[in-house]
Structure 1
Amino acid sequence: MSSQYDSFANTYGRAVALDVRRYVDYFSLTRALGDVGDKAVLDVGCGTGVITRILKQRGARRGVGLDLSEGMLDAARGEEVRSPLGVEYVRRDIADAGALGPFDLVTACYVLPHASSPDQLAAMCRGIHEALAPGGRFVAIHPNDAFAVNDPAFYSAYGLRASVDGRLDDAAPMKVTVTTVDAELTISTHYWTRSGYEAALRRAGFREIRWRSPEVAPEGIEALGEAFWSNYLARPYAMLFECTKEPAQR
């Protein structure tokens, strides 16, 4: 996973500035998280640190970004130097995240689909479970298993193109191309179903799993109009889930 992100760390910052990322992904994720004030937050697969910084700006007591890509972490640390927020960045596999905890919240933005097998996905979820304090929450956003997979151009207005190689089975190879005015990058990842995610989360120790549809920020509707978002909301590319680690036994 790290090598492909190392290769386009310099252009990734422009890709994450897409309207759909800003007005849908980040808005939906922060809405699901709610108040993060005075909480310790771990952002796994943090990339250039966009979400980690958002959470720190929203009042998180501790903000830690975890990633395997040195290129991405270099970019994130560079931004921290330019605009210090007190964010920590760590190079570590998600499966080994437990040593960094405990955290009140763990976030993941398009990270879990990089798992190439049920065992690897379960190991990632287990690492997140171990990093959480009892009663802590895990909130993730990732491709919706019901996105318009047979129509690669469906999301072109939003700068996205996605395709799955073969049947829509868990861990099937998937490619996502992100296009901006001056950059294009293609990410190799994997397709996962809701049941696939739920099985891995339960193996890791999570019990309550709640699914949420993405929302468009009011600013996004004001800027681009309701009609612009109608196709996306009809068959959203993204989906979210949240789950909680069981509280400590008394």
Structure 2
Amino acid sequence: MEPNQWDTVAESYDEVKHVPAGLAETATLTAVMPDLAGKSVLDVGSGTGYYARLFRHLGAARVVGVDAAAQMIRRARSIDKFEGLSIDYQHYDAAEMPVLGAFDVISAVWLFGNIAGAAELSAVAGRLRANLAADWMLVALFPNPEVDYESPPEYGKYGLTYTPTRLVADRQAVTVRFLTVPPVEFEGYFWRPGVVEEILRKAGFADIERHATKVPPSAVAEYGPQFWAELLANPHFAVITAHAGGSDDR
């Protein structure tokens, strides 16, 4: 992974959650979450803690956030000190993360899109499985492997653009630019269809399922149904869930 690019945008990164694309992202992710009341959640690639805080507000008893970018962790801890949510933020690369517990839910938002190769993705998947309690759930959001590059939607109206830069083995490198003030720009990867799922299976995950993109009713009311049609037909992100097998041999 390349944490340095995230260190440079730590102060403004939360703004990307408030553009229209971010509203759909949050709605889709939360729609597939189980009831978090009293549960433990590990948020890997937690950034400045946007989802970690959301999980606490949804009732999670324990939330741990992990990120490879030191500035992201500092920003998250600063916000937590102000809000008093008692979230534990840890500075680790996901591929080298130790066992921090047996969590009921692990979230990985955009994590897979920032991994530069299949070997590293396999290592990350193994560390995720090692931290997940038997039969519990991984929720992952990552760049949509089936996005239509030939006729992509006009994502600009949703608050972002992406520019394909180079094809690298089994993934397409892109430059993503969120049209916030100031803009947030970073490099990411769209994996070839099936790669992520196969690596998760080899790491011990099962029941892998992709979920439909959602838009919150308030955003439909604000922008109108037609506004969202392109994004729903060809979303830039995918959300999958997977469950750990019965063995807790970590």
Q: Same fold (TM over 0.5)?
A: yes
Match of 1:138 in 2: 138
Match of 1:58 in 2: 58
Query: Sequence identity of aligned pairs in percent?
Result: 27
TM-score, L = length of structure 2? 0.93
Answer with 93-102 or 109-118: which moved more: 93-102
The letter of the residue matching 2:24 is: V
Q: Deviations over 1:119-150 (max 9, x none)?
A: 11111111100010111210011111222434
Match of 2:177 in 1: 177
Structure 1 Cα separation of the partners of residues 134 and 153 of structure 2 = 43
CA RMSD for the aligned pairs? 1.7
Q: Give 1:118-197 correspondences, 5 Å limit.
A: 118-150=118-150, 154-167=154-167, 170-180=170-180, 182-197=181-196
Structure 1 unaligned regions, length at least 5: none
Question: What's the secondary structure of 1:48's corresponding residue?
Answer: coil
Match of 1:31 in 2: 31
Corresponding position: 1:2 with 2:3: yes
Question: What's the secondary structure of 1:64's corresponding residue?
Answer: strand
Corresponding position: 1:245 with 2:240: no
Contact 1:28 1:216 in 2 (8 A): yes
Number of aligned residues: 247
Structure 1 Cα separation of the partners of residues 151 and 127 of structure 2 = 35
Question: What's the secondary structure of 1:37's corresponding residue?
Answer: coil
The letter of the residue matching 2:221 is: E
CA shift for structure 1 position 34: 2.6
Relative to structure 1, the CA distance from residue 52 to residue 66 in structure 2 (aligned partners, 3 Å threshold; closer, same or farther) is same
Structure 2 Cα separation of the partners of residues 39 and 109 of structure 1 = 19
Contact 1:168 1:191 in 2 (8 A): no
CA shift for structure 1 position 152: 6.4
The letter of the residue matching 2:78 is: G
Q: Deviations over 1:191-245 (max 9, x none)?
A: 2023110121122111221111211011111121111111111211111111000
Contact 1:138 1:244 in 2 (8 A): yes
Corresponding position: 1:95 with 2:95: yes
Q: Deviations over 1:135-181 (max 9, x none)?
A: 1210011111222434567201011111323448523322111112x
Corresponding position: 1:81 with 2:81: yes
